[in-house]
Structure 1
Amino acid sequence: MSEDGGAQETRGVSVELLGTVDLGPEIDGLEGRQLRMRRVTMEPGAVFGPRHDHRGRPGIVIVLEGMITDHRDGVTTDYGPGLGWPEDRHTLHWLENRGSVTAVEISVDIVSAD
């Protein structure tokens, strides 16, 4: 796979929405935004791509099972259970499961309510 993930499309990934909270009534200035929690399951050989950014939708991820490889800024980092990473406005990355077992992560982010 190319390091920049330019040609890589998402495959072997399933996403389950676990819940959302409308942030407008909770925090002044966050009208039209929501806090979202998802479970992302990546089968062996899965790719979550192509390379994408997180401008306007900051979040944080924790790996529950398996190993997920994060590719960003020319650096490849493996994350196993209990580890995770932030996704902020400077994040430009793509993910893959290079392991032989299914990987599961929980992703929590702030997104447009649209």
Structure 2
Amino acid sequence: MSDEEVVPESNGVSVVELASVDLGVELPGMDGKRLRMRMVTIAPGGVFGPVHDHVGRPGTVYVLEGTITDHREGISTDYGPGLGWPEDRKTLHWLENKGTVPAVEISVDIVGE
């Protein structure tokens, strides 16, 4: 993030956990970790922040509806339905919906318990 970039407060976001798997039961060395799938809805004008990283929490995102703008390293990228992006240890970003309809994504990541 650039020092000049001002990130609005998080607002207009709803998150529903759809499924979860205890990875400690499934894979050696994964105690205390789980694979989760969430549906995230960002209202028009909404912001999913604050600026956050994915260190220790890798994942992927797939956009179902609307358009989500991903802000990272001073670059804004729009993702519409059928598109997505990876979130790895190098990811430092925030998201927003600059559109007029809700934006809906499916997020799958590995998290600690």
TM above 0.5, yes or no, is yes
Q: What are the equivalent positions in structure 2 for 1:53-68 lying under 5 Å apart?
A: 53-68=53-68
Partner letter of residue 20 of structure 1? S
Once the two structures are TM-superposed, the CA of residue 50 in structure 1 deviates from its matched residue by 1.2
What does residue 30 of structure 1 align with? 30
Partner letter of residue 29 of structure 2? G
Structure 2: which 5+ runs fail to align?
none
Q: Once the two structures are superposed, what CA deviation does each residue of 1:30-81 show, in whole Å capped at 9, x if it has no partner?
A: 0000000000001100000111101110000000000000000111000000
Partner letter of residue 31 of structure 1? D
TM-score, length of structure 2 as denominator length:
0.94
Q: 1:98 to 1:38 in 2, by over 3 A?
A: same
Partner letter of residue 73 of structure 1? E
Partner letter of residue 109 of structure 1? D
Structure 1: which 5+ runs fail to align?
none
What does residue 51 of structure 2 align with? 51
What does residue 82 of structure 2 align with? 82
Q: 1:13 to 1:28 in 2, by over 3 A?
A: same
Q: Once the two structures are superposed, what CA deviation does each residue of 1:73-101 show, in whole Å capped at 9, x if it has no partner?
A: 11100000000000000000000000011
Give aligned pairs, total: 110
Distance 1:64 1:3 in 2: 28
Moved over 3 A (4+): none
Question: What is the root-mean-square deviation in Å for CA atoms of aligned residues?
Answer: 1.0
Once the two structures are TM-superposed, the CA of residue 25 in structure 1 deviates from its matched residue by 1.2
TM-score, length of structure 1 as denominator length:
0.93
Partner letter of residue 53 of structure 1? D
Partner letter of residue 3 of structure 1? E
Once the two structures are TM-superposed, the CA of residue 9 in structure 1 deviates from its matched residue by 1.7
